[in-house]
Amino acid sequence: TETPPELAADIAERGIVLTGGGCLLHGIDELIESKTGINTMTAEDPMTAVAIGTGQYLDFLDEAAKENKTID
């Protein structure tokens, strides 16, 4: 599958942020950047980034439900 054009444009503009334990492998960010040509960086706290983001999204869903908002 191909990356949708709008997502590809965001990646090209903003770069790739690596999260999780795998991104702690020495030099993985440089390797990915050299192979893709896209700026690649490691998240500030890669081991908890996904959990924190998921928690924030769940909080958002709770607030949206309280306000009777729909999510597209």
CATH of the domain at 61: 3.30.420.40
Tell me the pLDDT band of 69, cut-offs 50, 70 and 90. Answer: low
Q: Tell me which residue of 44, 14, 40, 12 sits closest to 27, measured CA to CA.
A: 40
The answer to whether position 12 is within a domain reads: yes
The answer to whether position 71 is within a domain reads: no
Provide the number of structural domains found in the chain. 1
Tell me the pLDDT band of 1, cut-offs 50, 70 and 90. Answer: confident
Q: Tens digit of pLDDT for each residue in 28-67? A: 999 999 999 999 999 999 999 999 999 999 999 998 888 8
- Does residue 70 have a pLDDT over 90? no
The answer to whether position 72 is within a domain reads: no
Note down the domain range covering 39: 5-66
- Between CA 11 and CA 22, with CA 53 as vertex, the angle to 5 degrees is 65
